[in-house]
Structure 1
Amino acid sequence: MARPSQHHRNRRVGLAAAAVLSLAIVPVAAASPALATPGSAAASAAASASSASSNGKVSVGYFTQWGIYSGFYEKNLIASGAVKKLTEIDYAFSNIAPDGTCASADAWADWQKPVDAANSVDGTADTGAQSIAGNFNQLRELKKAYPNLKIVMAIGGWSESTNFSAAAATPASRAKFAQSCIDMYIKGNLPGVAPGAAAGIFDGISIDWEYPDGVGDNNPHGPQDTHNFTLLLQELRNQLDTAGRPDGKHYLLTADMPAGPENVSHIEIGAVSRILDWMNVMTFDFHGTWETTGPTNFQSNLFPSPFDPAPRATSSNPFPVNGEISTLQVVMNYLQHGATPNKIALSIPLYAHGWTGVAPGPRGDGLYQPATGVATDVVYNQVAAQPGTVHHDPITGAVYKYDPASKTFWTYDDPQSIQEKVLFIKALGLRGDMAWSMDGDTADGALVNAFGLAK
């Protein structure tokens, strides 16, 4: 398949961005009066967030708590050059305890595990005299070496969203949750160590509730989650502003937001976007191995395709299961529901989904073909080494790999497809990008060098 020229890619992305802006309607998701009354504490907090946060581009890289067990340390971000391309590191994840408070999912990895000199950012080994070690101390060292880098604690995730619905349920539970998270991660009061030992590491909080009024990983949920999510974010914004006021510091508040229109429909997008500094919209996992027999398709395509066999939305079925979806359509949906471009950051996968038993099909590349099974997910630095031919689809901007010998099909992002997304972000005036997760990149940072907007 012929590779489109840079001029062609720029023109196509520019035309698509213009189309999005022309189709985006006036925001329809008005904030609740309790959140938007002029002169109210909520309005003051929203104004503070808007004025205190920069409208500059962001490039957020997720660093996983558990990477420390497989040999991926904060120091790797220096070796790959990633730290110079990122504006922010989101640390995954904090848990939510059954009582609705923030709690570590793994205290050993977070602040107890000694890091040896070879893997330490500053080249010195942790000692027993330190109040904290582990990832938290390495993040502190990284921030000291790169003072413009922001470090944000991400709360929740797919496996840790069980208790969000209960934590958001009442004014008291929301205040308790926010206070506990700020006490632990902003004020640095970790259990079992000296008060304030972790102060100054984290510059904010990111909420990854998967999903409000959505089952997610078999989580408790209900229709009350829709407005309670907005109220939970507002409570966090208010308490973060209070915490930062003595020192004149603006603590970041972001959220990882769903791409699927069904999940989006259960969120007050307009109100939420006005509270947050920005939203990391999870524009990946559009298709994948949960579709066990295929057809093969893209997990993070930029544009739709008329050849996509996935069901189209209709008036009688606006949210078809495993329906047609693209990054372009996701952004349009957010704009139409009240978000502004500078509150949207696109998410980029640093991993691949795959199918097995895939016939070549009429084009010989396995695209849109049925499968007999699925392949185990791999990260980019592994899929790049897999056998097969790499294809760049000129319609969707997506990349895929097909190996006719093993009949294996992979969907992922590579530097070329990411560069096209960066063009889209800039053309539309979006806030930036987020990547999950940094341990999937190559040792020389091939992907972060493509998506990093901090250049």
Structure 2
Amino acid sequence: MADRRGVRLFGFYPQWSIHQRGYLVRDVSAVADRLTHLGYAFGDLDASGEAVCGDPWADRERRFGAEEAVSGVADSEDQPLAGNLNQLRQLKAEHPHLKVVVAIGGWNWSRHFHAAAATPRSRAAHVESCIDMWLKGDAAGVFDGVDLDWEWPGSDGGPGTVADPADKANFTALLREWRTRLDALGAETGRTLELTAFLPCAPERMRAGYQVPEVFDLLSSANLQGYDLHGAFERTTNHQSGIRSPAGDPASGRPSLDQGVRAWIEAGAPAHKLVLGAPCHGSGWSGVHAHGDGLFQPSAGPARGTFEPGHESYRVLKDRTGARHRDEAAGFAWLYEGGTFWTYDDPVEIARKAEYVRDRGLGGMMLWSLDGDTEDGELVEAAHRGLAGGAPPDGATDRRSGDQWYQADTIPAWP
């Protein structure tokens, strides 16, 4: 695993993966020994800010057959807990090093965080309801902590969210309530429970919504959104996860990963608590002119994706035909063919980001989301090896692209 002196490799498993995507918790077993943390996304909130189960069938009710279950044993009809949560329990039994946290919110379910954080009473009710739903009762022992994914305090974000300046202080107060209650529960159960959060890359969102030193005093670590910096929600093609701003970028006012990381650190975030997020998906446009190999060109709209327009898994994009390009200085890749443009991360770019994490002394990497990786976990493996300090021997290449990337036959300690 990549955890050397606290370095984290954090993967996310989306609740909805068991539906049309057919990606089960059992499939995480292929990469679980490489991960230090697994996030289960997401828990929802009601209008008052208290916990609700957004998909009870996926979370707790679905019965898995023997061929689907992590343990290889079929669920029974009368067992008290089934669904993904029971599968996560089985995954932890097979990989006891793995820390599993429940992520609350997300882009579509952040609308009620404002109400949850507004008053001392609402904060206490929010935390107690979430603990009752996810950390106690039948689910006790499944999760080792909580990840707050409020997108975004103090500025607009997902559907139905509000931008209220009061959220900046209220988010800190909400984290403090969480930290107090998790410490108390940990003392009762003899466990150390983690508190993490998902944070924006954009410095203006950071300034609007976060009291940075106070926030990081309360967090175990924080996952920085290192992707969707651009996407098919715009009309002009661009990178979705470049480390640095590329030359000729027509959207030069938008932040790069490096600009976001530097802004958080300058505001008081400890580098070792910042975990850099990277995508297991690509963003795509259609109707793109071939000039510049499709980069920085106007489009007709989002490209066709398997499950949604403008979005495709790496496991699909890796096998697409077309010309593959790379900006070595800025750190991103893209695919162009027949008027269709996809920006995505492959093992080369994931390894490049791992090297950046090491150079900056960051706390590790996060991958969103594991269902987009290949069956054997190419992106997880690249992150794991890169974080562990693997360097390519002379002439070593990624056999799919011919580009040099970071490999290691042995896993040295984090420096």
User: Please, what TM-score do these two structures have when normalized by structure 1?
Assistant: 0.80
Cα distance, 1:54–1:339 mapped onto 2, change above 3 Å: farther
Q: Select which of 195, 217, 223 maps to 1:280.
A: 223
Give the aligned partner of residue 426 of structure 1: 358
- Where do 1:113-132 residues align within 5 Å? 113-132=62-81
Q: Select which of 325, 333, 355 maps to 1:399.
A: 333
Q: Is the 8 A contact 1:154 1:206 kept in 2?
A: yes
TM-superposed CA distance for 1:395, in Å, is 1.5
Q: Is the 8 A contact 2:245 2:256 kept in 1?
A: yes
DSSP-derived class of the 2:132 partner:
helix
Q: Distance in 1 between matches of 2:211 and 2:27?
A: 38
DSSP-derived class of the 1:84 partner:
coil
Q: Is the 8 A contact 1:55 1:431 kept in 2?
A: no
Cα distance, 1:269–1:55 mapped onto 2, change above 3 Å: farther
TM-superposed CA distance for 1:392, in Å, is 1.5
Give the aligned partner of residue 190 of structure 1: none
Q: Is the 8 A contact 2:203 2:264 kept in 1?
A: no
TM-superposed CA distance for 1:248, in Å, is 3.4
Q: Select which of 143, 146, 154 maps to 1:202.
A: 143
- Where do 1:91-240 residues align within 5 Å? 91-187=40-136, 196-217=137-158, 218-240=160-182
TM-superposed CA distance for 1:271, in Å, is 1.3
Q: Select which of 4, 11, 17 maps to 1:67.
A: 17
TM-superposed CA distance for 1:161, in Å, is 0.6
Give the aligned partner of residue 261 of structure 2: 331
Q: Distance in 2 between matches of 1:276 and 1:138?
A: 27
Q: Is the 8 A contact 1:308 1:324 kept in 2?
A: no
Q: Distance in 1 between matches of 2:326 and 2:89?
A: 40
Give the aligned partner of residue 82 of structure 1: 31
Q: Is the 8 A contact 2:195 2:219 kept in 1?
A: yes
User: Please, what TM-score do these two structures have when normalized by structure 2?
Assistant: 0.88
**Matched letter for residue 245 of structure 1:** A
Q: Deviations over 1:414-433 (max 9, x none)?
A: 00001010011111111011
Q: Distance in 2 between matches of 1:143 and 1:343?
A: 24
**Matched letter for residue 207 of structure 1:** L
**Matched letter for residue 25 of structure 2:** E
Q: Which runs of 5+ in 1 are unaligned?
A: 1-52, 188-195, 312-322
Q: Is the 8 A contact 1:379 1:440 kept in 2?
A: yes
Q: Is the 8 A contact 2:106 2:150 kept in 1?
A: yes
Residues 1:411 and 2:343 are matched in the alignment:
yes
Task: Give the number of the structure with larger relative contact order, counting CA–CA contacts within 8 Å between residues 6 or more apart.
Answer: 1
Aligned residue pairs total: 376
Q: Is the 8 A contact 2:200 2:225 kept in 1?
A: yes
Choose 377-386 or 215-224, whichever is displaced more. 215-224
Q: Deviations over 1:253-277 (max 9, x none)?
A: 0000011122111111221111101
Q: Distance in 2 between matches of 1:74 and 1:179?
A: 27
Residues 1:255 and 2:189 are matched in the alignment:
no
**Matched letter for residue 342 of structure 1:** H
DSSP-derived class of the 2:100 partner:
strand
Q: Deviations over 1:67-121 (max 9, x none)?
A: 111321111112xx31111111100000011232111111110010101111100
Q: Distance in 2 between matches of 1:241 and 1:435?
A: 27
Q: Distance in 2 between matches of 1:288 and 1:197?
A: 40
Give the aligned partner of residue 10 of structure 1: none
**Matched letter for residue 260 of structure 2:** V
RMSD: 1.5
Q: Distance in 2 between matches of 1:55 and 1:395?
A: 30
TM-superposed CA distance for 1:402, in Å, is 0.8
Q: Deviations over 1:153-183 (max 9, x none)?
A: 0000001111100110001111111111112
TM-superposed CA distance for 1:324, in Å, is 3.0
Q: Distance in 1 between matches of 2:57 and 2:135?
A: 19
TM-superposed CA distance for 1:240, in Å, is 0.2
Q: Distance in 2 between matches of 1:232 and 1:197?
A: 25
TM-superposed CA distance for 1:54, in Å, is 9.2
Give the aligned partner of residue 57 of structure 1: 7
TM-superposed CA distance for 1:202, in Å, is 0.4
Q: Is the 8 A contact 2:103 2:146 kept in 1?
A: yes
Q: Is the 8 A contact 1:90 1:152 kept in 2?
A: yes
**Matched letter for residue 156 of structure 2:** V
Q: Distance in 2 between matches of 1:111 and 1:54?
A: 34
Q: Select which of 181, 195, 206 maps to 1:264.
A: 206
Q: Distance in 1 between matches of 2:370 and 2:14?
A: 8
Larger Rg: 1
| Aligned structure 1 segments of 4 or more residues deviating by more than 3 angstroms | none
